[in-house]
Structure 1
Amino acid sequence: MKLAMLGGGGFRTPLVYRALLGDTAERRVTEVRLHDVDEARLAAITRVLDAMADGDAQAPVVRATTDLDEALDGVDFVFSAIRTGGLEARTADERVALAHGLLGQETVGPGGISFGLRTVPVALHVARRVAAVAPGAWVINFTNPAGMITEAMAGVLGERVVGICDSPIAMARRAVRLLGLDPQRTRVDYVGLNHLGWLRALEVDGVDRLPQLLGDDRLLLATEEGRLFGSEWLRTIGMLPNEYLYYYYFTRDAVTGILAAGQTRGEYLDAQQSSFYATLNDETVDALAEWDRVRLERNATYMKEARGADDERDDDDIEGGGYEGVALALMAAIARDEPAELILNVRNGTTIPCLPQDAVVEVPCRVDATGPHPHPTPPLTGHPLGLVQQMKAVDRLVIEAAITGSVDRAVEAFALHPLVDSVSVARELLADYRARIPAVDEVFTRGR
């Protein structure tokens, strides 16, 4: 099989390639096409992949290109992990929001809207090219904001685009492991949107075992979620939230933590990755060793602003990427009809009745050769229902604004976001993002 990786010069590309190296099935990926707009980054990552393959004759052949159609032509799967505007735009996403006293984060709050506005047009172009030159391909979307971008691409590709994220399945697996449950016999009740979901139950033989975890501080504080949210709050809501809900439940704390750090996550990654790619310009440097060192450092500092100074991440979380395993399992299920149970971003249908059928939601699915099939789920109730409906409305406004170039729809999206506290501020945010990020301004000026 052939796999195109868009954003192939990105730092996390080797995680996917490493997972492919471990796949020994007869029908597996034998060719990987890396696509990126930056030739230097492509060259650096190709060096890392070559070192990973280490002369293995069975390793997937790697071909790098800056031509999108060349990368897509005739492939079986497309893995999309693009970042429109690069890390420079991400830092603007964060800093513009912080200048207004609001949360500065790349997928949550104003930053997520800015990211979506400039990314939707690019994602739609990719979707149209896939439909033209690789109509039988499945697209696995990891481009953020993942739910919003998957929904936009689904308008072109229908069911053949699936969004993935490692956060929900990693949370569920941690909980199952800590409770000593059999994963094959455990029904996971997780529901929501990307970066906005809740683990509501872990059922074994009709008995929900999640209350056992919530009631045991020792077990609960052994989870990332327990340390992040605190056992008292988790018992109050009776669920395990996706880690990104920290930014909604503890907004002031998050803003204070980011400002106190003196450097946003985007600024940290920009400096780190600039150094990494510059280092790999030296042909004498061990590319794989350098990538691995930087990877562990990057993972260890993930969501650092939300944890206490002495709260270190688990070794498993630092070592594991996670999403590459989800991508490989998804491809194996579809290409080889190896059924898998995965939490994915897919079209809603009738899974969550309170949302439109064409809305993309994040729910447990059974995946086989015909693609993902969402499991029936109990209705959303309480505050998750309201938050999901509000955020889905924002997502759809962003998509409409990005497609039509409507300033009114963009302002409406900012104003209706639960982390933006004024219509006046919404207007200022849009003006500031347009001034700071050319790709955002182009959404509203193209064709003029």
Structure 2
Amino acid sequence: MKLTILGGGGFRVPLVYGALLADRGEGRVTRVVLHDLDDSRLNAVARVLDEQAAAVPDAPEVTATTDLDEALRGADFVFSAIRVGGLEGRANDERVALAEGVLGQETVGAGGIAYGLRTVPVAVDIARRVARLAPDAWVINFTNPAGLVTEAMSRHLGDRVIGICDSPVGLGRRIARVLGADPKQAWIDYVGLNHLGWVRGLRVAGRDELPRLLADPDLLGSFEEGKLFGVDWLQSLGAIPNEYLHYYYFNRETVRAYQQVEKTRGAFLADQQARFYEEMKRPGAAALTAWDRTRAEREATYMAENRESAGAGERDADDLSGGYEKVALALMRAVARDERTTLILNVRNQGTLSVLDTDAVIEVPCLVDANGAHPVSVSPLPEHATGLVCAVKGVEREVLAAAESGSRTTAVKAFALHPLVDSVNVARRLVEGYAAVHPGLAYLR
């Protein structure tokens, strides 16, 4: 079975390959094709993968190419994890927004819109090529903003594109762990959009254990989200929000914290990964050791500004292991082998949330089998969550319209309508600022 990884020179690709190495089942991936526009990054990651596979018999064969059509042709699965504009683009997303006093995070608010505007045209081109060159392939999208990009691709691939994210998985795992439950045996009632969802229940053996957590201040304050949001706020909500909702619920504090740091997250990662890729140019460098060291630092500093503004302290060691590669592998196994499972995924709504139309991509538990991912029916969201979900989905639709039409006016509308952008004039300046630093937005007229 052939797996094509788009963004194959990306830093986190070894996580995916590590998951593949652990899979010894029948029908497993036997060939991996890495695609990237940057030869040197491809070579660096290929060296890490080679060291990973050294002690593993029958490890999946790895090849690399800068030819997109060659990479896609004949693929059974396509894993998309591209970053249009690179980490320098992410740093610019943050810098332009913060200069206007608004959030520049890569998936939320102004930064997420800018990232989406330059990513959607590229993702749509990829989707069209997949439909032509590998019509039977399943596309697993991890490219951010994951929900928006999945919806853009779904207009050309239908339900054969499925978005994944590790945030809901990590959240459910933390809640189950605190409650003393096995995460694999728990049913997580989670619903929303990517990076905009809430856990409303966690059932073990048919019993909802979330009320027990919400009623115990000590227990509730003992894990990441309790420290981040505060016990009182979680009890008021009656649910556990995805960590990215901290940008909405504590926006002023977060923006202030981001403005005060010496380097934004994007600038930090750009410098950190530049050192890694530069080190990989030395023939004798220990690739896997260098990658492990860099990854540990990356994970430990994740959402550091949010935790600092909330006084949440350092991340727990158990939260430094990522998880999206496990979701990707579980999804591939379920589809390829009909190993039925339940995963929280980004899929078309299909009537699951009545306040959104059928084609709107949402993040929700899905039953997965050989025919793909099927969203599970969920109860309605409370009004405060419904309002936020509908507002952000409306913004995503304006981003898609701007990307399709090339309309700068529509792009301004997308920024202006976002709950975290507080002025139409700010939205206009954001479009001007982003267009000045991103060649990928030259299509906006």
> What TM-score do you get using the length of structure 2 for normalisation?
0.97
How far off its partner does 1:203 sit?
A: 2.8
Deviation for aligned residue 1:443: 2.5
Match of 2:176 in 1: 176
| Corresponding residue for residue 164 of structure 1 | 164
Q: Structure 2: any 5+ residue segments left out of the alignment?
A: none
- C-alpha distance in 2 between matches for 1:182 and 1:102: 40
State the secondary structure of the residue aligned to 1:444.
Answer: coil
3-state DSSP class of the match of 2:350? Answer: coil
Q: Quick one: distance in 1 between partners of 2:295 and 2:183?
A: 29
d(CA) in 2 for partners of 1:20, 1:190: 27
Tell me, yes or no, if structure 1 residue 215 matches structure 2 residue 215.
Answer: yes
Q: Deviations over 1:274-318 (max 9, x none)?
A: 111001101111000000000000000000001137711111211
Task: Give the secondary structure class of the aligned counterpart of 1:443.
Answer: coil
Q: Which residue of 2 aligns with 1:405?
A: 406
| Number of positions where the alignment pairs a residue of Structure 1 with one of Structure 2 | 443
Partner of 1:108: 108
The Cα offsets for residues 3-36 of structure 1, whole Å up to 9 and x where unpaired, read as 0000000000000000000000021000000000
Equivalent residue, structure 1, for 2:45: 45
| 3-state DSSP of counterpart to 1:189 | strand
Does 2:436 match 1:426? no
What amino acid is the match of 1:105?
Answer: Q
Q: Which of 310, 314, 317 is the equivalent residue of 1:315?
A: 317
> In 1, distance between residues paired with 2:272 and 2:193?
30
In 1: Cα distance, 2:277 partner to 2:184 partner:
42
Aligned residue number for residue 224 of structure 1: 224
Query: Counterpart in 1 of 2:436?
Result: 435
Indicate if the aligned counterparts of 1:415 and 1:421 stay in contact, CA closer than 8 A. yes
> What are the within-5 Å matches in structure 2 for residues 51-66 of structure 1?
51-54=51-54, 56-66=56-66
**TM-score normalized with structure 1 length:** 0.97
CA distance, structure 2, for counterparts of residue 307 and residue 94 of structure 1: 18
- Whole-angstrom distance in 2 between the partners of 1:285 and 1:184: 39
- 1:213-258 per-position Cα deviation (integer Å, ceiling 9, x unaligned): 1222332223211111111111111110000000000001111111
SS for the counterpart of 1:255 is helix
Superposed, 1:235-384 pairs within 5 Å as: 235-308=235-308, 311-318=313-320, 320-384=321-385
Query: Unaligned stretches of 5+ in structure 1?
Result: none
Shift in Å at residue 184 of structure 1? 5.8
Per-residue Cα deviation, 1:344-396 (whole angstroms, up to 9, x for no partner):
00000110000011000000011011111111100112210000000000001
Task: Report the CA distance shift for 1:271/1:182 in structure 2 as closer, same or farther (over 3 A).
Answer: closer
Cα contact 1:117–1:443 (8 A) shared by 2: no
Contact 2:131–2:157 under 8 Å retained in 1: yes
Classify 1:237/1:128 alpha carbon distance in 2 versus 1 (closer, same or farther; 3 Å).
same
Moved more, 158-167 or 401-410: 401-410
Q: Any idea what SS the aligned residue of 2:16 has?
A: helix
Instruction: Give the 3-state SS of the residue equivalent to 1:42 in structure 2.
Output: helix
Specify the code of the residue in structure 2 equivalent to 1:317: D
- Displacement of 1:205 in angstroms is 5.2
